[in-house]
Chains A and B, each alone.
Chain A
Amino acid sequence: MNSATYLSFLEIAAGLVILCAIVTLWRRSLRAIVRALAVQGMALGVVALVLGLHHHDDVLIVVGCLVVGAKGFFIPTLVKRVLANEPMSRETSPLVNVPASLVGAGALTFLAYGATRPVVALVSTSAGRLIPLGFATLLIGFFSMVVRRKAASQIVGLLLVDNGIALVAFLATAGVPLLVELGASLDVLLVVVVLRVLAVQLWSKFAVLDLDELQELHD
C-alpha cells in the first residue's frame, strides 16, 4: 500500500469514527444511534487493519479483525437486546436539545485539539495528526452520558468513550501490548453484558429503564 492511499484510508476511517459520534447526538431514535455505533466499531477496526497492513504487523491485523467483530457486530447486538425490553425506544427528554448538543460537540472537538497538542507533537507521524479525533470522540461520549437519560443512551455514551480511547491507542502507539489490549477489549464486552443483566433485572422486577426513575438513592 503506498503512503498516499494508506493515509487517505486512515483519514476516512478516523473521520467516520467521529462522524458516528456526532450522529449519536443528532438522532433521537435509539435504533439509529445503535446503528451509528456499529458503523463506528467497524471504522475503528479498519483503522487497526490499515495500520497493521502498513506496518506489516500481523498482531495488529488480528486485533483489527477482532475489533470489527466485537465492536461492529457483537456489542451493538447486545445493546439492541437491551432496547428490546423498552416500549419507547426514543430518547424523549435529553437535558440538552439537539442543536445545542451539536454546538457542544463542536466546542469539545476544539478542546480535544488543544489538550492533545503535546501528544501530537511527540508522535510526529502522519497518523499522529488524527489523535485529536479520538479525544473528541471520548469527550462527546462523556457529554452524552451526562445529558441523556435513557439506560441505553448511557451504555452508548460509555461505548463512545471506549471507542475514542481505542482510536487514540491505535494511532499513538500502533497498539499497546497485546495482553493489555485484549484485557481492555474483553472488559468492555463484560461491562456491556453486566449492564444488560442489570437492565433486565430492573425492567422485569420494577419496570424501570429510564434513569429519571432511578431516584431511590439520594441525600
Chain B
Amino acid sequence: MLAFILLLVPLVTGCVAAAVGWRRWVGWLCTASLGFVLVTGVVLATRVVHRPALSEFSGALRVDALSAFMVIVIGAIGLLAVCQSVRYLEHEISSGHSSTRRATLYAVLVQGFITTMLLAVVAGNVGVMWVAVEATTIITTFLVGYRRTRGALEASWKYVIICSVGIALAFLGTVLVYLAALHASHGAHASLEWTSLMSVAHHLDPGVMRLALALLVLGYGTKVGLAPMHSWLPDAHSQAPAPVSALMSGVLLTVAFYVLLRFKAIADGALGVGFSRTLFVTAGLLSLAVAASLLLSQRDYKRMLAYHSVEHMGLIALGAAAGTPLAIAAVLLHVLGHGLAKAVLFLAAGEILLVEGTTEIDQVKALLARRPALGGVFAFGLVALLGLPPFSLFISELNMLRAEVHVGLGWVAAVSLVLMAVIFGSVMSHGRHMLFGARPDGEPVHKSPSLVTVPLIGALVGCGAIGVLAWPLDSLLRAAAMVVVK
C-alpha cells in the first residue's frame, strides 16, 4: 500500500488547498506533504535495495531500486521548492502581482505536478508512464504562465506546442514497442508492463525497435531538454516562478530521462547497446554544443541557468550511452546532485530577481559584498554546478567520463571535456561579474531572510555530503543501476 499512499498524500493535500484556499498554513501543509514523500522514498529504498521489487494492484504500481531513488530525488527537491513557494506567494500577494485565488491555483497545481511525477516513476506500465509525463506538461503550462506577462504567456505557448509534439512522438514509439511485443509473444497476452516487455526483449523485432527507440529518444528527449528539441527550455525555465523553475529543471527533466532509461533497457535487449549508444551520444554531444555556444554570450542569468540544464542533460545522456553499471550509477548520482544544485541556484536567482528587480547579468553587481548570504549561496551553487569538489557533481562527472573511456568512447569524453571547459569559462566569467566587486559607498549590507537562506544552505551541504560520503546512497545507486543494466 505504500506506493499508493505515496501518490495519495500530495493529491489529498492539493484537494485540501483547493477547498480552503491559500493560507500560510496551507503552504506549510504542502511542505509537510513533500517531507512525507521524501521519508517514504527512503523507506521504500530500504525495502527494495536488496530485495525484489514491490508490486501493488497486480503490477499497476511497481517500485524497484530505480523508482525508489527517483522518489527520493522528487521528495528532496520538491521539499526545497515547495517550502520556498510560501515566501514567493506571500511576496507576490503583498506586492499586488497575485491574488489569493491565484495563489490557491498555484498551490493546487504544484501538488498535482508532484503527484503526476511520482506516478511516472512508480507506474509499472510504460503506457501509464507516458500518460503521467504528458499530464505534467498540461499542469506545468499554467505554472509557467503564472505571472501572465507577455513573456510568460509566450513561453507557455512554446512549451505546450513543442512538448506536445515531442510527447506525441513518444506515444508513437510506445505503440511500436507494443506492436513488437504483440508479435514476439505471438499475440498471447502482450501488455505494456515494463517487466513483461523486459522478459520478451530478446525476441522483439530489431527493425521496428530501431524506429521505436529513435522516436522515443526524440520524443522523451524533448521533455528532457536534449538538443535539437530543447528550444522551449530556456524560455519556460526563465519565465516560470522561481520555485517552479527549480522543480522543472531539478526533477521534471530527469523524470522524463528515467522513462527513457527504462526504454533503453528494453531496446538494448533487442538490439544490443550499439544503436542506443549512437542515439544518446548524438543527442548528448549536440546538447553540450548548443549549451556551450549559447552560454558564451548570455545576458540573462535565469536563461544562463536554463542552458546549463541543457548541458547537464547532455552529460547524463553521454553517461547513459556508456551504459555500464558504473556509468548508470554515476548518471543517477548526477541526477540527484544536479537537481539539488540547480534548484538552489534557481531559488537564489528568484530571490535576486525579487530584490534587484532585473534578470540582466550586467545589472547585478557585487552581490557578495552587498548581500553576503544570498551571494554566498549563489556562489557555492555555481561551484557545485560547475562540478568542482567537494560537491557530488565532481564525483559523478568523473565517473561518467571514466566509464566512457572504458567502453571505447574516449573521443566522446575528450570532446565533452573541451565543451565543458568552454562552458566552465563562460559561466565563471558571468558569475564573477555578478558576485565580485566593491560595495558602493553609502549602501548598507543587506540581510537576506533566513527562511530563504537556511534551506538553500542545507541543500548545498547535502549536495556536498553525498559527494564526500559514499555511504547511504552507494548500495542504492548500485542496485538501481542493475535494474536497467543486464
Contacts and interface: CB of A to CB of B under 8 A. Distances in A.
B and A form one assembly: yes
Interface of A: 115-119, 121-123, 138, 142, 145, 151, 154, 158, 161-162, 165, 168-169, 172-173, 176-177, 179-180, 183-184, 187, 190-191, 194-195, 198-199, 201-202, 205-206, 208, 214, 216-217, 219
Given A118-B208, A198-B145, A205-B150, A173 B128 contact: no
A92 B172 CA distance: 32
Nearest to B297: A219
Contacts of B180: 122
Contacts of A208: 150
Interface residues of B, number: 53
23 contacts: A115-B211, A118-B205, A119-B207, A122-B179, A122-B207, A138-B172, A161-B168, A165-B171, A168-B172, A168-B175, A172-B175, A172-B179, A177-B127, A180-B192, A183-B131, A183-B134, A201-B153, A205-B150, A205-B153, A214-B158, A217-B235, A219-B297, A219-B298
A124 to B, nearest CB: 9
Contacts of B176: 119, 172
Contacts of A169: 171-172, 175
A165 B168 contact: yes
A191 B179 contact: no
Nearest to A142: B165
A65 B134 CA distance: 24
Interface in B212-238: 234-235, 238
Interface string B136-169: 0110011001001011011111101100110111
Contacts of B426: none
Interface of B: 127-128, 130-131, 134-135, 137-138, 141-142, 145, 148, 150-151, 153-158, 160-161, 164-165, 167-169, 171-172, 174-176, 178-180, 182-183, 191-192, 205-208, 210-211, 234-235, 238-239, 294, 297-298, 303
B191 A177 contact: yes
Nearest to A215: B154
Contact of B168 (A162, A173, A219): A162
B125 to A, nearest CB: 8
Contacts of B128: 179-180, 183
Contacts of A194: 138, 141-142, 160
A119 B211 contact: yes
A119 B208 CA distance: 6
A158 B164 contact: yes
Contacts of A123: 179
Contacts of A184: 130-131, 171
A195 B238 CA distance: 20
Nearest to A193: B138
B160 A195 contact: yes
B127 A183 contact: yes
B178 A176 contact: yes
A94 to B, nearest CB: 17
A151 B160 CA distance: 12
Given A168-B172, A168-B175, A172-B179, A117 B239 contact: no
A211 B137 CA distance: 21
Contacts of B178: 173, 176-177
B151 to A, nearest CB: 5
Given A118-B206, A214-B158, 10 more contacts: A122-B183, A158-B164, A165-B171, A168-B172, A173-B178, A176-B192, A201-B145, A201-B153, A205-B150, A219-B303
Q: Which 3 A-B pairs have the closest CB atoms?
A: A118-B207, A180-B127, A183-B131
Nearest to A219: B294
Nearest to B148: A201
A8 B239 CA distance: 52
Contacts of B238: 217
A195 B135 CA distance: 15
A176 B175 contact: yes
Given A165-B168, A172-B179, A217 B161 contact: no
A217 B157 CA distance: 12
Contact of B153 (A142, A145, A202): A202
A194 B303 CA distance: 25
Contacts of A195: 157, 160-161
Nearest to B182: A173
Contacts of A172: 175-176, 179
A99 to B, nearest CB: 26
